[in-house]
Structure 1
Amino acid sequence: MLKRIILASQSTSRKKIFKSTGLYFMSKKPNISEEKEKIKIKRKTKNARLISKKLAQLKALSISKAYKKNVVVGSDTMIVCNKKIIDKVKNIKEAKAKLTFLSGKKHQIYTSVCVCFNTKIIWQHTERTTVHIRNLNERDISDYLKKCKKDILKSVGCYQAEGMGPNIFSKIEGDFYNVMGFPIIHFLKFIRKEIH
């Protein structure tokens, strides 16, 4: 039987996705300074896919060192719009500016997953999904932010697909779970094939 999976993440949406599948897991905060590591990686590459892949690896490996007999899952999400990497906002004012920038545009979400066992990487996957944001005027954005409140600050794109996010979407191309923060279908295929 598969030992408890360790999700190297404190993300509320990732934990919800894992719980919804009935996976036997616990979550642990990765033993890395994510912002410092991201800065180091960005000095070497501006490729969002590679940045998310490297961060997912670092997160998984940081926990795998202490839990060598458990499958450890690290994940990271990056968003790119008009060739610009989008970072998390710190406050509602920044969220308003971010939504103004994303309005009427499409952007790409890259989520990388890295699975480790006994400090070795045994599986990796990066999923790309394109999200189209409808044209939003100032009132649309203000109303949306009032409804979402500070929960919006937890999400890189200033939306939560499982919450109020669909109100500002015009189209999604690809994996909806990826928009939520974790491409669970690909991960479950791996678990069924390789672990059991």
Structure 2
Amino acid sequence: MKFTVVKPVILASASPRRKEILSLLGFPFAVVPSNVPEDLALGNNDFESYARQLAAMKTQAVANEEQGSIVIGADTIVVHNGKIYSKPESKEQARTFLKELSGESHTVITGVGLYMGDEICTFSVQTKVTFRELDDMLINAYVESGDPMDKAGGYGIQTAGALLVEKIEGDYYNVMGLPIAMLTEYMRKLSLMELKGGVSFIDN
């Protein structure tokens, strides 16, 4: 199953995981990292709004230079007990994150921004992830592998971090960093892409 798009598409992210997921749709796209700092102030503990705002900022930063394209930006956060778990800044912080998430459920939220000519629309998707009880040996081995260091919450569900997970409730690709099913729905409803062969989207 492949899609065609009405304009060139740019992914405003350097994430290899988002690139891999977007490739599932079968159309060519360019990658232009936004380089927007992920230090937006959180207001009123509205984590979904926070993720959407960051996604919009990343999208806008690239759209400013690529106004003839469809630009897709995204930001993924991990939330547990009212706290955002960002990408760990050290191995020790990664260990702390994993110990705090051990045996607990947390929420992964991805905000997505979609630029389409003169405006940016945003949406967000939540997935609940429950970790197994993790022993120190497993945590240390995973941290020493280096895998946690570029991932929100200090783990990647698509890599060895899958061994930490007991179950998920919701979109797996959202945990990876891009909720591709919802993105596809938005792009089809906005007439930004269609299935090859001219099959249009029918909104029931």
Shared topology, TM-score over 0.5? Answer: yes
The aligned counterpart of 2:137 is 139
Q: Does structure 1 residue 195 correspond to structure 2 residue 192?
A: yes
The aligned counterpart of 2:159 is 163
Q: Any conservation in 2 of the 1:48–1:79 contact (CA below 8 Å)?
A: no
Give CA deviations for 1:43-79 in whole Å, capped at 9, x if unaligned. Answer: x343211110101111111111111110011111111
The aligned counterpart of 1:3 is 7
CA distance in 2, matches of 1:152, 1:21: 27
CA distance in 2, matches of 1:27, 1:187: 17
Q: Does structure 1 residue 13 correspond to structure 2 residue 11?
A: no
- 2:9 is aligned with what amino acid? I
Q: Does structure 1 residue 186 correspond to structure 2 residue 182?
A: yes
- 1:133 is aligned with what amino acid? F
Structure 1 residues 54 and 140: CA distance shift in structure 2, 3 A: same
**Secondary structure at 1:56 match in 2:** helix
Written as runs of structure 1 = structure 2, the 5 A alignment for 1:80-159 is 80-121=79-120, 123-146=121-144, 149-159=145-155
Query: Please, what is the CA RMSD of the aligned residues?
Result: 1.6
Question: Which contiguous aligned blocks of 4+ residues in structure 1 show a shift greater than 4 angstroms?
Answer: none
CA distance in 2, matches of 1:105, 1:164: 18
The aligned counterpart of 2:196 is none
CA distance in 1, matches of 2:174, 2:76: 9
Sequence identity of aligned pairs in percent? 31
Give CA deviations for 1:81-140 in whole Å, capped at 9, x if unaligned. Answer: 11211122112121111111110100001101110123411x322100000000011112
CA distance in 1, matches of 2:99, 2:35: 34
Q: Any conservation in 1 of the 2:74–2:111 contact (CA below 8 Å)?
A: yes
When normalised by structure 2's length, the TM-score is: 0.86
- 1:11 is aligned with what amino acid? S
**Secondary structure at 2:75 match in 1:** strand
- Stretches of structure 1 that go unaligned for 5 or more consecutive residues are none
Q: Any conservation in 2 of the 1:106–1:133 contact (CA below 8 Å)?
A: yes
Q: Any conservation in 2 of the 1:67–1:118 contact (CA below 8 Å)?
A: no
**Secondary structure at 1:101 match in 2:** helix
When normalised by structure 1's length, the TM-score is: 0.89
The aligned counterpart of 1:59 is 58
Q: Which structure features the higher share of helix residues? A: 1
Q: Any conservation in 1 of the 2:157–2:165 contact (CA below 8 Å)?
A: no
Deviation at 1:145, TM superposition (A): 2.6
Q: What is the aligned residue count?
A: 188
